[in-house]
Amino acid sequence: MFEFPGDPTTPGIASLPSLPDSQRISPDQSAQMPRIPSTPLSYVDAWPILEHLGGPDSPRSWQGSLPFTYHVGPGPVRVHMRLRQDYQFRTIWDVIGQVRGTDSPDEWVIAGNHRDAWVYGAVDPGSGTAAMLESVHGIGELLKSGWKPKRTIIFASWDAEEEGLIGSTEWAEQHDPELASAIAYFNTDVAVSGPKFGASAVPSLKPFLRDITKAVPAAGGGTVYDAWRRAGPPESETEQEVHDPVPGAAHPAPLASWDVMVGDLGSGSDYTPFLQHLGVPSTDIGSPDSYGVYHSVFDDFAWFKKFADPDFLYEQQMARVFGLETIRMADADVLPFDYEEYGKEIEAYIDRAKKRADIEFGARAPSFVEAAQAARRFEEAGAKILSREQRPPNDPGKLNRALREAERALLIPEGLPHRSWYRHAIYAPGENTGYAAVVIPGVNEAIDGHDLGRTEQQLATLMAALERAARVLGNDH
């Protein structure tokens, strides 16, 4: 997925049943299909293999719990592994519900969760599905009372997320033209695995998310925001760093000012095509607790009822946060985006990348001055439009259009080096970090690659994206 998610035979286009074979890459020619056979093993089957490996002792961090010293090989044990792979095309099903908006029906607020699981999936994704369905139920009650949203609300139950975000990616690619007017995408996946609340978002929506949690009662008293804050600051409050919820984030994002931690969006769930391919502002809410039954046969209702949420209080809490996000965004007179906050975070990203480049390239390090100045102009444009949000005109249409289009202005038309499907200048999953986010990925990955020329080129690309976004924000009146 570091190159692109979705159907590996249709990069960048929707994998519809009507798509002719001539427009597909055959599975045996797709560079994204795995070439090394692999299979999961239980410890019972792995035991005799590990026990009979020779060679040096393994690094101590590799030592597991079996009662012998692990070695790295080679041999003398030999294993014969026979795998049968089924590469047939199969139909998957996205279930889409829509409430048409009264004032701006072409502006979509999308809320989604995937439905497929590795086995039973009580936590992943059942806890998110239950929260989303309860949000749908609440909106249904509002509709019965006569309320209607100003903008169109779409609820989506995605299929085949576990196979590579296929359902959401193919739907987003299919609806690319309509999504040019989308306002936001709200995601939940592992909604509840324990009592902790966590969230990730684009910086423009981080204050919005915090405000939503201040309006939702927490299972243990107070508000969700209060409980979130009581959970503690980031690991390094003095450095004010936000660490990606997924271990291994290459470039953690500094907070512009300390508040509850809202992480950055890498990949691994269904916000990916909306934000990083199409530039739709996105959030992801869930439970950051690690839980020992992830993606296993033990992630079932019995485990959830005993350990995760016995009284379903946290499930209700997540449903309220998810539903309120959707309702408030759909009904907002002025879109609640904070691009001043966004600009401050990007300035911090650039400052950190400059320090890394100075270490990597020494006296040959490129100048970061123009990129930093562009980030500063973006922040200043964000501050000006934020003041207009607080005193909006009678007709906020032009103001909302600028707020809506600023995120898309951060897209790079040609995409990131080596992976053109990812087009966002500020956020992407790292090429070598799994799901974890890399900020200003073009620049940071060029530094990681010890490539001075590409670093200079990506700085120019980043500067151009920031200048575009600043101009969009400046065209609100």
Contact 64, 71 (CB under 8 A): no
Q: Are residues 126 and 270 in the same domain?
A: yes
pLDDT at 238: 29
Judge contact between 92 and 273, C-beta under 8 A.
no
Determine the average pLDDT of the residues in 380-388. 95
pLDDT interval class at 235 (50, 70, 90): very low
Query: Which has the minimum average pLDDT: 36-40, 63-67, 411-415?
Result: 36-40
Long-range contacts of 355-360, Cβ-Cβ distance < 8 Å, separation of 24 or more: 356/444, 356/447, 357/447, 357/455, 360/447, 360/450
pLDDT of 400 strictly over 90: yes
Query: Is 249 a residue whose pLDDT tops 50?
Result: no
**Which residue pairs, CB below 8 angstroms and at least 24 apart, start in 162-165?**
162/114, 162/116, 162/117, 162/118, 163/116, 164/1, 164/5, 164/6, 164/7, 164/8, 165/1, 165/5, 165/6, 165/267, 165/269, 165/270, 165/272, 165/273
Question: Which one of 280, 296, 331 terminates a domain?
Answer: 331
Mean pLDDT along residues 427-446:
93
Q: Whose CA is closest to 327, among 95, 94, 102, 111?
A: 111
Is pLDDT larger for residue 476 or for residue 12?
12
Q: Can you spell out the DSSP letters for 147-170?
A: ---SEEEEEEEES-STTTSHHHHH
Q: What is the mean pLDDT of the chain?
A: 92
pLDDT band for position 233 (50/70/90)? low
d(CA 135, CA 128): 11
Residue 177 has pLDDT above 70, yes or no: yes
pLDDT at 310 over 80: yes
User: Which pLDDT value is given to residue 286?
Assistant: 96
Nearest partner of 284 among 264, 304, 299, 314, judged by Cα: 264
CA distance linking residue 262 with residue 275, whole number of Å: 16
Q: Is pLDDT above 80 for 274? A: yes
Neighbours of 10 (CB within 10 A): 20
* Together in a domain, 62 and 179: no
pLDDT of residue 285: 98
pLDDT of residue 476: 64
107 and 228 fall within a common domain? yes
Task: Kindly state the average pLDDT of the residues 102-108.
Answer: 98
Whether 28 is covered by a domain: the verdict is: no
**Percentage of the chain with pLDDT > 90?**
82
Burial of 459 (0-12, 13-18, 19+ CB in 10 A): buried
In-domain check, residue 202: yes
Per annotation, catalytic residue among 26, 236, 290, 367: 367
Active site residue 424: yes
pLDDT at 58: 96
Backbone angles phi, psi at 388, to 5 degrees: -70, -35
What H or E segment, with its residue span, contains residue 404? helix 397-409
Tell me the three state secondary structure of residue 198: strand
Residue 462 sits in the same domain as residue 361: yes
Whether a cis peptide bond, with omega within 30° of 0, leads into 125 is yes
274 within a domain of the structure (yes/no): yes
Q: Are residues 152 and 224 in the same domain?
A: yes
Indicate if 79 and 110 belong to the same structural domain.
Answer: no
Q: Do β-strands 184-188 and 104-114 pair in parallel, antiparallel, or remain unpaired?
A: parallel
Q: How far apart are CA 186 and CA 135, in angstroms?
A: 12
Q: What is the CATH number of the domain that holds 144?
A: 3.40.630.10
> Do 458 and 417 meet the contact criterion of CB atoms below 8 Å apart?
yes
In a domain, 386, yes or no: yes
317 and 446, same domain (yes or no):
no
**Phi, psi for 28 (deg, rounded to 5):** -75, -10
60 assigned to some structural domain? yes
Cα 458-464-467 angle, rounded to 5 deg: 140
Residue 140 and residue 163 in one domain:
yes
Give me 273's structure tokens: 């095509």
Rounded distance between C-alpha atoms, residue 334 and residue 279, angstroms: 19
8 Å CB contact between 445 and 438: yes
Nearby residues of 470 by Cβ (< 8 Å), 6 or more positions away: 374, 377, 378, 380, 381
Which band of pLDDT confidence, cut at 50, 70 and 90, is reported for residue 477?
A: low
Catalytic member of 161, 173, 340, 445: 161
- For the cut 50, the answer to whether the pLDDT of residue 246 exceeds it is no
CATH of the domain at 447: 1.20.930.40
Alpha carbons within 13 angstroms on the beta-carbon side of residue 387 total 7
Task: Say if residue 215 is in the same domain as residue 322.
Answer: yes
First to last CA, the chain: 40
User: Average pLDDT of 226-254?
Assistant: 51
Q: What angle do CA 45, 46, 48 make, to 5 degrees?
A: 85
Q: Is residue 242 part of a domain?
A: no
Residue 286 to residues 66, 189, 262, 269, Cα–Cα distance (Å):
33, 7, 11, 11
Same domain as 327, residue 345 = no
Residues 129 and 135: their CA atoms lie apart, in Å, by 10
Residue 254 has pLDDT above 80, yes or no: no
Same domain, 61 and 209: no
279 occurs within a structural domain? yes
Range of the domain at 301: 95-232+265-331
Domain boundary residue among 83, 115, 143? 83
The packing angle between helices 452-474 and 339-361, to 10°, is 170
| Residues 323 and 349 occupy one common structural domain | no
- What is the reported pLDDT for 83? 87
Asked if residue 254 has a cis previous peptide bond (ω within 30° of 0), the answer is no
Q: Which of 114, 251, 277, 424 is catalytic?
A: 424
- Yes or no: say if 50 and 66 are a contact pair by the CB < 8 Å rule: yes
Count structural domains, the chain: 3
Cα distances from 225 to residues 12, 130, 144, 255, in angstroms, run 38, 22, 30, 17
Q: What is the pLDDT of residues 107-141, one digit of tens each?
A: 999 999 999 999 999 999 999 999 999 999 999 99
Phi/psi at 439 (5° precision):
-90, 155
pLDDT at 248: 32
In a domain, 270, yes or no: yes
Whether residue 216 contacts residue 224, with contact meaning beta carbons closer than 8 Å, is answered with yes
